[in-house]
Structure 1
Amino acid sequence: MELRHLRYFVAVATEGSLTRAAERLHLTQPSLSRQIRQLERDIGAPLLERGATGTTLTPAGAALHAHAVLLLRLADATRETTHAAAGRSREVVGIGIPPGLSAEWLLDTLTALDAAVPHAAVALTEASSTEQLRMVREGRLDLGLVHEQPVGSLRGARLFDQPFGVAVRPGHPLADGPECRLRDLDGVRILAHGRQQVPVAHDRLVVAAHDAGVVPLWQFAQFSEHARACAEATKSDAVLLTEHSATRLLPGWPWRPVVDPALELVTWLVWPPSTRTVVDEVARTISAR
């Protein structure tokens, strides 16, 4: 999935017509249609209903549209911040972000940093927790937003917790209740992130299931944007992830929090023990939110 695909999709949703959107984007209609079909293949679901009077959003399209608008705003804000830094002697601060982080929270954080640390120009890099921790230690990132408590010499601040739950395939019995007990997952085919992406959460999950005598049919995979495709490939009946990610990646799949015991995804801010003053200022601002 590329940003230009999201821009094309948002233009079609706004215009309600492939023809008008193509004119606005200075593309031919066949070219725009190919780009939209590519995006639908990447997402794994139809996004537009095409009719004689124009186009309307499918439920999956409506869910993607809200997220796409935020992502495009974030991309534009990052570009403007970087360009402004060149003319205002701002110091670039590299921050890692994990896949699935709330775009609303991230946009609010960028606004807070712009007000509290105006001499900092934020450059964002999306990477897994494991990759970010390595990049922070190697000096290739100033700060990281990770799903692991920092160890060793790294400093850290706990930012927020998100409950884990399961997005359940429509029609499956688990979709009926308001929540899902861990023992309800016994024998259920469940897609979960592989250990390389979230090792602490992965280990906590496997141990909790073992201690409860529960044997889910785990399907571990590396994924961020293509949860639906991975679920279909593995024939999974449920996908373990946060509510925010479920709403974005699996529209139409009911999400149920896992309880007894509850499972949480913790987000930490990490940075080196010795760093630039501006990095410490950014870290304090993010930690205080």
Structure 2
Amino acid sequence: MELRHLRYFVAVAAERSMSRAAEQLHLTQPSLSRQIRQLEQELGVVLFERTTTGTALTPGGAAFYHHARLLLRLAEASREAAHSAGEATREVVDLGIPPGLSPDWVVRLLGLLRDEVGRASVLITEANSAEQLRMVREGRLDLGLVHERPLQALTGTRLFSQPFGLAVRPDHPLAARTECTLRELHGLRILAHGREQVQAAHDALIVAAHERGVTPLWRFAQFSEHARSCAEATESDAVVLTENSARRLLPQWPWLRLAEDSVDLTTWLIWQPATRTVVTRVAEVISGLAEPVTVPR
């Protein structure tokens, strides 16, 4: 069996016509029919049958069609790999990023890595902190950007912190303000991320409210892109978010800073202590972006 036989077979199956496929392949119809018969003889299976509307796959032909397309894709991939073999080798570095991280910051980071670590081909995986911690430990990610302090088994660098605040419904009395305190949230319906998403910040927020004797009507949910939908579903008065996430997800809802009771969302870079040289170099470049308080927007 030759690749040309597979290409001819796939063309006929796609066109559902021997004549149209022959025209597309720049062959005569008798020549194409002969090639298809050779393939059928080699396989011992009839691949096509004549119908009133053209040429249709037999059950055996339909089963073979999926394998033929896969073989052609593999052949094309092998050809591309051979062409690129002479080029400078780049090593894949898998980097995890959490939902809500500033897209502009990530794009600038990728540009910096292209300039500083040209031999690294960085692939992005979006996952929450718990998932990333597990994936780095298992070796499925080389590096992770997480909102949890790394375990002792992992190497970690603190990059920056962003204060949590409140995105408030436009018609709520607090919407005219630029900041508020936890005490002013007593009795309000407040939507916040579930503990599985941002464990440290979740716990800090609950503890801070409890210490001040404040009892908001907490609504916890797992969300990243659908803050508005979750807020509507829970009839929440406000949503706990960083300013960057609030402006992106709830642009019409004013964002208020928690003036006296700031709870920060801290981002850490994590990786395995024993890793490849290229991963260590990428970690060094990212660690160089560490900032004391806020992330650039």
Normalising by structure 2, what TM-score?
0.68
Counterpart for residue 212 of structure 2:
212
In 2, Cα distance between equivalents of 1:261 and 1:240: 13
Counterpart for residue 128 of structure 1:
128
Residue 283 (structure 1) aligned with residue 286 (structure 2): no
Displacement, 1:152? 1.9
SS of residue matched to 2:218: strand
In 2, Cα distance between equivalents of 1:124 and 1:178: 35
Counterpart for residue 182 of structure 1:
182
Gaps of 5+ in 1: 1-82
Listed as ranges, the matches of 1:140-219 within 5 Å are 140-219=140-219
Highest Rg: 1 or 2? 2
Listed as ranges, the matches of 1:47-196 within 5 Å are 87-196=87-196
SS of residue matched to 1:266: strand
Aligned residues: 207
Counterpart for residue 233 of structure 1:
233
Gaps of 5+ in 2: 1-80, 290-297
Counterpart for residue 71 of structure 2:
none
Q: Which amino acid aligns with 2:249?
A: L
Counterpart for residue 224 of structure 2:
224
Q: Which amino acid aligns with 1:100?
A: G
SS of residue matched to 1:153: coil
Q: Which amino acid aligns with 2:236?
A: S
Displacement, 1:260? 1.5
Q: Which amino acid aligns with 2:152?
A: G
Counterpart for residue 256 of structure 2:
256
Counterpart for residue 273 of structure 1:
273
In 2, Cα distance between equivalents of 1:208 and 1:185: 12
Normalising by structure 1, what TM-score?
0.70
In 2, Cα distance between equivalents of 1:199 and 1:88: 42
Q: Which amino acid aligns with 1:165?
A: G
Counterpart for residue 53 of structure 1:
none
In 2, Cα distance between equivalents of 1:107 and 1:96: 14
Stretches of 4+ moved more than 2 A in 1? 85-88
In 1, Cα distance between equivalents of 2:288 and 2:251: 33
Q: Which amino acid aligns with 2:272?
A: P
SS of residue matched to 1:152: coil
Counterpart for residue 242 of structure 1:
242
